Amino acid sequence: MKKVRIAVLCSGGGTNLQAILDAQAAGKISHGEVVLVVADSLGAFALERAKRCGVETAVFDKKQFPRTEREAAILACLKAHGTELIVLAGFMTVLSADFVKEYEGRILNIHPALLPSFGGVGMYGLHVHEAVLARGVKVTGATVHFVTEECDGGPIIAQKAVRVHAHDTPEKLQQRVMREAEWVIYPKAIEKVCKGLK
């Protein structure tokens, strides 16, 4: 069976990338295969994770490439690798409308809250969990969605709820959301979309 060729775009540690690679190794992602990991930072530990799993890598560092040049270079790299599905895993650059159009309906993102709550511009990483705690909500979680021109506004593929505890810090909550929601639903959503593309 020919698998969907997946490229994962990362900026940092790559914990979601690791969950995806582990799920692939365990046969939980059987209709797709990660063939490329692209980072926008030379120091991204995600690159190390990819190399350990024998996945090809490419880096287009924010400090070396202006944004439009960087996007063009990333697109060229994706096409050279025959990428059919793009998975954003802690990718800290908002993609332009032109970039999104090139892969319309074939870019996935995971957000560390239950969209449409706590989404949009400026809502990423610890900022999300700080906002959740400041608002006093009792349940948060993670959302996998298709990427559109609207930040965090694309159609939702999967969500999983996670309880907020009374003594949570943003860091503690971030870890729980990753463990209980992100690492669980992202591989499942990727498999579902790959199956659909096939």
Question: Per-residue pLDDT tens for 163-198?
Answer: 999 999 999 999 999 999 999 999 999 999 999 997
Pair of tokens at residue 70: 């960087």
Residues 6+ apart with CB under 8 A from 81: 5, 7, 35, 36, 56
Q: What is the mean pLDDT of the chain?
A: 96
Angle (nearest 5°) at CA 8 between 4 and 14: 140
111: annotated active-site residue: yes
Instruction: Give the C-alpha separation, 104 to 86, whole Å.
Output: 10
Total domains in the chain come to: 1
Long-range contacts of 72-79 (CB under 8 A, 24+ apart): 74/9, 74/38, 74/40, 74/99, 75/99, 75/102, 77/36, 77/38, 78/7, 78/36, 78/38, 78/103
Instruction: Decide: 34 and 4 in contact? Cβ < 8 Å.
Output: no
Instruction: Give the C-alpha separation, 5 to 12, whole Å.
Output: 22
From the CB of residue 86, how many other CB atoms can be counted at a distance below 10 Å?
A: 25
Give the CATH number for residue 63: 3.40.50.170
Domain that holds residue 137: 4-197
pLDDT in tens, 11-68: 999 999 999 999 999 999 999 999 999 999 999 999 999 999 999 999 999 888 888 8
Task: Give the pLDDT score at 1.
Answer: 82
Task: Give the pLDDT score at 67.
Answer: 86
Instruction: Decide: 160 and 141 in contact? Cβ < 8 Å.
Output: yes
From the CB of residue 159, how many other CB atoms can be counted at a distance below 10 Å?
A: 17
Q: Which of 31, 81, 111, 167 is catalytic?
A: 111
161 pLDDT band, cuts 50/70/90, is very high
99 pLDDT band, cuts 50/70/90, is very high
Instruction: Decide: 153 and 121 in contact? Cβ < 8 Å.
Output: no
Instruction: Give the C-alpha separation, 88 to 54, whole Å.
Output: 19
